[in-house]
């Protein structure tokens, strides 16, 4: 199994509080992604990174920010959590953007905003 | 508009049946992935393919690049195959996902 760890696995927080989710990889893969998974929707991209300090927005980036100061860590921050951000968050890694690049997922973080 | 469409959304089968899940996509891709997610569980990669056919045990995945279509087949289905199966395509720097097919195999 690819070495990818998400923390925390579960979190309950109140509306308006900041929250940071961490994704840590030991595979030295270049690409890292944050997705959210909600009923009735496929996995939706929040932000992704294509290298240290190189990030870009996905389709549902409003209310989220990311940082990647080291190859192995990709942080997702909810600056001021809202109930609409209650979701399961998955981190994924990929070696490259080219053909033959498998996608590996972390085990997910279940976030509840009350 | 969804870049990836899967069918059916839900599927119930008797143990031993042959199962087919379909995936159509609308973008140019470098590869297509089939993923499996058990209830409350993580997401596991089953196949990555860019042409032809691949087989792992009872699972077979095919892709037709010209028609922008892929199928996932499960032969001799078993209750442990019950899961959500997700089709994803790799286009540029991003992956696009179908909404998944929820499969239940009844003993």
A109: number of Cβ within 10 Å: 23
Q: Does residue A100 have a pLDDT over 90? A: no
User: How many residues in total does chain A contain?
Assistant: 114
**Sorting pLDDT into bands at 50, 70 and 90, what band is B98?**
very high
Q: Between the CA of residue B5 and those of A81, B15, B98, what are the distances in Å?
A: 31, 26, 5
What pLDDT score was predicted for residue A89? Answer: 97
- Angle formed at CA A20 by CA A19 and CA A25, multiple of 5 degrees: 160
Nearest to B76 by CA among B25, B13, B23: B13
- Could you give the C-alpha distances from B66 to A45, B21, B54, B75, in angstroms and in order? 27, 19, 18, 26
pLDDT higher than 80, residue A99 = no
Q: Which of B95, B96, B97, B102 to mutate to test the interface with A (most CBs of A within 10 A)?
A: B95
Q: Which residues of chain B neighbour A44 with C-beta distances below 8 Å? A: 97
* Exposed e or buried b per residue across A40-70, where buried means at least 16 C-beta atoms within 10 angstroms of its C-beta: eebbbbbbbbbeeeebeebebbeebebebee
The distance of B22 to chain A (nearest Cα, Å) reads 15
* Size of the A and B interface in Cβ pairs below 8 Å: 66
Q: How confident is the model at residue A39 (pLDDT cuts 50, 70, 90)?
A: confident
Q: What is the mean pLDDT of chain B?
A: 94
pLDDT (0 to 100) of residue B30: 87
Confidence band for B99, pLDDT divided at 50, 70 and 90: very high
Per-residue pLDDT reduced to its tens digit, A41-91: 889 999 999 999 999 999 999 999 999 999 999 999 999 999 999 999 999
Tell me, what's the pLDDT at A44? 94
Task: Give the nearest partner residue to A103 out of B45, B50, B98, using CB atoms.
Answer: B45
Q: Residue A1: closest CA among chain B residues belongs to which residue?
A: B44
pLDDT at B40 over 90: no
Q: What value does the mean pLDDT of chain A take?
A: 93
Does A97 score more than 80 pLDDT?
A: no
For residue B44, with 0-12 CB atoms within 10 Å meaning exposed, 13-18 middle and 19 or more buried, which class applies? middle
pLDDT interval class at B1 (50, 70, 90)? low
Task: Say which of B93, B95, B100 has its CB closest to residue A50.
Answer: B93
Q: Which pair of tokens denotes residue A57?
A: 């927005």
- Cβ contacts of B100 on chain A, cutoff 8 Å: 42
Q: B4 and A102 in contact by Cβ < 8 A?
A: no
Q: How far, in Å, CA of A41 to CA of A63, rounded?
A: 19
With CB atoms and an 8 Å threshold, state whether B42 touches A106: yes
pLDDT of A1 above 80? no
Q: How far apart are CA B4 and CA B27, in angstroms?
A: 8
Specify the length of chain B in residues: 107
Beta strands B52-56 and B43-49 are unpaired
Spacing of C-alpha B60 from chain mean position: 10
Model confidence at B92: pLDDT above 90: no
């Amino acid at each position: 199994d690819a070495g990818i760890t998400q923390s925390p696995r579960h979190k309950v927080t109140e509306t308006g509080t900041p929250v940071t989710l961490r994704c840590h990889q030991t595979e030295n893969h270049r690409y890292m992604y944050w997705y959210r998974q909600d009923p009735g929707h496929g996995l939706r991209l929040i932000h992704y990174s294509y290298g240290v300090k190189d990030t870009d927005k996905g389709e549902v980036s409003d209310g989220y920010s990311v940082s990647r100061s080291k190859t192995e860590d990709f942080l997702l921050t909810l600056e001021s959590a809202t109930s609409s951000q209650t979701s399961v968050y998955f981190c994924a890694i990929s070696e490259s953007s080219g053909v033959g690049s498998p996608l590996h997922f972390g085990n997910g973080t279940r976030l509840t905003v009350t | 508009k969804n870049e990836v469409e899967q069918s059916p959304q839900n599927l119930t089968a008797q143990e031993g049946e042959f199962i087919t899940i379909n995936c159509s996509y609308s973008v140019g891709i470098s590869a297509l992935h089939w993923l499996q997610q058990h209830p409350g569980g993580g997401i596991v990669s089953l196949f990555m393919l860019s042409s032809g056919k691949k087989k792992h045990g009872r699972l077979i995945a095919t892709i037709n690049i010209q028609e922008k279509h892929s199928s996932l087949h499960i032969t001799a289905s078993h209750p442990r195959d019950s899961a959500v199966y997700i089709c994803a395509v790799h286009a540029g720097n991003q992956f696009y996902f179908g909404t998944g097919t929820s499969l239940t195999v009844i003993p």
